[in-house]
Amino acid sequence: TNNYYPQRDGHIPELDNESTTTSELLQAHLPTAKVVKAFNHIYAAQLTTDGRPAGSTNRRALVIAGDDAGAKATVTRLLDQFGFDTVDAGPLKEGWRIQRDTPGYGPRRTAEELRRDLAAAKRYADE
């Protein structure tokens, strides 16, 4: 799914008041799809430069969120093939923990670091 930037996307009330997430909006628009939030906190070019073999020290991790366990397992396998560990944030509604302005959004992180970042994330209204 994508990242919400009001200055680019215009204001979307449900996202501004944090009653839903971009991933949940996408799932609502595609009700038969199995949406998994992934890749939203890594630059595209880094997909080809930051991957490392499984078990590598300081292997970069990426967060996923989704409501379908099978779909999340598929994305986890894909991330591993690309050279990344996976941190599961839970259902789509928890995807806000890796949106813009949260600790884990953007910087290169290991799985352990991302778990801490997810736990430390605050909603915009709480800042």
CATH number, position 24: 3.40.50.720
Query: What are the pLDDT digits (tens) for 30-67?
Result: 999 999 999 999 999 999 999 999 999 999 999 999 99
Range of the structural domain that residue 66 is part of: 6-122
Alpha carbon 121 to its chain's center: 12
Residue 1 lies in a domain: no
Phi-psi region of 61 (alpha: psi -120 to 50; beta: other; left: phi over 0): beta
> Does 127 fall in a domain?
no
Strand partners, 87: 63
Please state, in angstroms and rounded to a whole number, the distance separating the CA atoms of residues 66 and 95: 8
Confidence of residue 124 (pLDDT cuts 50, 70, 90): confident
Query: Which residues does 74 contact at the CB level (< 8 Å), separation at least 6?
Result: 36
Where is pLDDT greater, at 17 or 2? 17
Whether residue 39 lies inside any domain: the answer is yes
Residue 95 near residue 121 (C-beta atoms within 8 A)? no
- Condensed to tens digits (0 to 9), the pLDDT of residues 72-116 reads 999 999 999 999 999 999 999 999 999 999 999 999 999 999 999
Check residue 1 and give its pLDDT. Answer: 58
| Structural domain total, the chain | 1
